[in-house]
Amino acid sequence: MKSREIRLAARPQGAPKDADFEVTEVEVDDPADGEVLVRNELMSVDPYMRGRMNDVRSYVPPFQLGEPLHGGVVGRVVASRDAGFAEGDWVLSDLGWREVARVEGSRLRKLDPDAAPLSTALGVLGMPGLTAYVGLLDIGEPKEGDTVFVSGAAGAVGSIAGQIAKLKGCRVIGSAGTPEKVAWLEELGFDVAFDYRQTPPREALRGEHVDVYFDNVGGDHLEAAIGAANQFARFVECGMISRYNDESPTPGPRNMPMVVTKRLKLQGFIVIDRRDRAPDFFRDMTQWVREGKVRYRETYVDGLENAPRAFMGLLAGDNIGKMLVRILNTA
């Protein structure tokens, strides 16, 4: 079976560009025993993928040059030699960035298309949702009445983190990069939402006393949050998207001594370490979404060949909510 896939052609220097990616057609073999053939339909692009494009061993190995990229994807079984899966089943796998994936059944999760829209498996009910859930609740430990500041608040993770904070009785401040995003945050019930391209975070946080900072951005957002932090504030260090395209290291917060004097806790985390929380997350989030207490938005880009552009757009902040690519198979 023929399949197009996106490969890493060059390691991006700074912001990724078209030439860092290439589309290649390959032949996919029939599944062996225990394997399943999946036609991918909807794939995720996520900020963490930028780090994997560098030749640096981090919590996961880097993507390899000349190899297809991978990441979360929803697809449909076209052939199965695993008794757990039948043709037509919807499944979630980690073999995105390609039209057809041959994958061991053990690496698939079956999805029920009647339980929730399939796209949610990549967003609010998937990895980004779990990230928001464990980050905010387990590291942020918000208490009723706390002030919670979320940067990148109109993104897939930030928008969920902010809404969970509202559910927990917190005052919630969100930053985003366009007036449209800010308007959405206001719709979602954020108490304060600001466009950091108009108002620097430091200015926007003047007079605020932040108990929990959910950091998706780093940089001047992080510095501003340290400056506005209450004593004993918790910093959920989830991501630093402002830094991912840095070509050389840029200076960190100038007010680090306040980490001592204010007794701050800054804690980094990666969602794959917290899979034990998935059952709680799934139970709570399913209910919150059903009751309309947590809402989500998705931004779609069409065509596998446009996945690199979707990814570049994600890093530039083009998305509201979850950024997804409809694969529109030619396979």
Count other C-beta atoms under 10 Å from residue 203's C-beta: 11
| DSSP β-ladder status, 210-215 and 147-150 | parallel
- Would you say 37 or 139 has its CB closer to a copy of itself? 139
Q: Do the beta carbons of residue 111 and residue 91 sit within 8 Å?
A: yes
Give the span between the Cα atoms of 221 and 151, in whole angstroms. 7
How many residues make contact with a copy of itself (CB under 8 A)?
36
How many angstroms from the chain centroid is the CA of residue 97? 16
Is 58 a residue that touches a copy of itself (CB under 8 A)?
A: yes
Does residue 262 touch a copy of itself according to CB under 8 A? yes
Q: Does 252 bind a copy of itself (CB under 8 A)?
A: yes
59 counts as binding a copy of itself under rule CB under 8 A: yes
Q: Does 239 bind a copy of itself (CB under 8 A)?
A: yes
Binding-residue pattern over the window 157 to 186 for a copy of itself, x denoting contact by CB under 8 A:
------------------------------
β-bridge partners, 222:
none
What mask of x and - would describe binding to a copy of itself in positions 195 to 234, judged by CB under 8 A? -----------------------x---xx-------x---
Chain-centre distance for alpha carbon 223: 22
- Using CB under 8 A as the binding rule, whether residue 128 contacts a copy of itself is answered as no
Site string for a copy of itself, 264-283 (x = CB under 8 A): xxxxxxx--x----------
Q: Give whichever of 12 and 105 is closer to a copy of itself, judged by the CB atom.
A: 12
Three-class SS of residue 88?
A: coil
Could you tell me if 146 and 121 are in contact, meaning their C-beta atoms sit under 8 angstroms apart?
no
